[in-house]
Amino acid sequence: MITLSDAEIQAAAEVLYDAEVNRKQANALTLTHPDMTMDDAYAVQSAWVKKKQGAGDKTIGYKIGLTSRVMQRAMKIDVPDYGVLLESMNFEDGSEICAADFTDPRIEVELAFVLKERLFGDNISMMDVLNATDYVVPALELIAARSHRVNPDNGYVRTVFDTISDNAANAGIIIGGRPIKPNDMDLRWCGAILYKNAVIEETGLAAAVLNHPANGISWIAKRFAPHGVGLEPGQVLLSGSFTAPIPVKAGDTIHADYGPLGNVTCQFV
C-alpha cells in the first residue's frame, strides 16, 4: 500500500538523486517518513530511476539483494529486495574506479545471469530460469549508501525501506572471469574467495542465495509479473551476494577468485 503522496515520492527521489550527484549522504528517508511502507519505498526507487533515465541513462538489468538469511536477519526482513542496473553502473573487469564518486562504497561477490529468452509469469521455476539463461558469469557488485547507514548526529539506523528506496544500494557492477552455460556445473557449489589488498576478507558459496542462485532470478520474475513486467533477453541479472559486503576506499585492490570460473578484479583510486 502506497501511503506517500506523489509530491512526497518525487521529493524523496530528489533527495537521493542530489546525494549521489553531490557525493554527500542524505538523512534516511524514514526519519522524515517513519510510517513509509515497502510499496512507498519501491515507488521512490522507481522515481529515482526515472530521474536517471531522464538524464540519459538506460536500464541494463536488475539486482536481487537480501537473499541470504544472515543479511535478512540483519535487516529484519524475511524477503529479498531488488534494484535496477543502469548503463552508467557498468565497469570493465580490471577497471580503476574513483572511490570518491561513491558514498560509503562496498563490494559484494555475486553471479550474473544473462538471458537469451524472456521470463514472465508468477509461476517461474528455477528450471525455467536455467532454460532461459544464455550464460552465467562471475561479477562484483559495488554498493553505496546514498543515505546514512547510521546518522552521525543522532545514531539513527536506516531501515530496509531506506535501502529499497536507495535502489537497494546498487551503484555498480564489474563482470569478469569465464562465462559458463547454466547447466555446466551445479551453481550451488560455485564458490569465491574475496581478497582486498591480497588479504582474504570473505569466502562463500552461491548456495547461500536461496539454496540456488537461479532462485533469486525466479523471485524477481514473480515479483514483476503482477505489474506486467518481464525479464528480457540480453538483460544482466545479479542473483544476490554470497559474501558479506566489505568496505573499500581509494588505494584498495579487489580480487575475487572463482576457481574454475576465473577472476574479477578492480582497483579503487
Q: What is the dihedral angle through the alpha carbons of 160, 165, 169, 175, rounded to the nearest 10 degrees?
A: 120
Buried/exposed 229-263: b ≥16 CB within 10 Å, e otherwise: ebbeeebbbbbbbbbbbbebeeebebbbbbeebbb
Using DSSP, how many helices (H) and how many strands (E) does the chain show? 7, 13
Q: Please give the domain boundaries of the chain with CATH numbers for all domains.
A: 59-268 (3.90.850.10)
Q: Give percent of the chain above pLDDT 70.
A: 95
Of residues 102 and 73, more confidently modeled:
102
The answer to whether the pTM exceeds 0.85 is yes
Q: What is the pLDDT of residue 71?
A: 62
* Chain segment 140-180, per-residue pLDDT in tens: 999 999 999 999 999 999 998 999 999 999 999 999 999 99
Q: What is the pLDDT of residue 148?
A: 94
> What are 167's three cell numbers?
535502489
Mean residue pLDDT of the chain comes to 93
* Chain segment 40-75, per-residue pLDDT in tens: 999 999 999 999 999 999 999 999 987 666 566 655
The length of the chain, given as a count of residues? 269
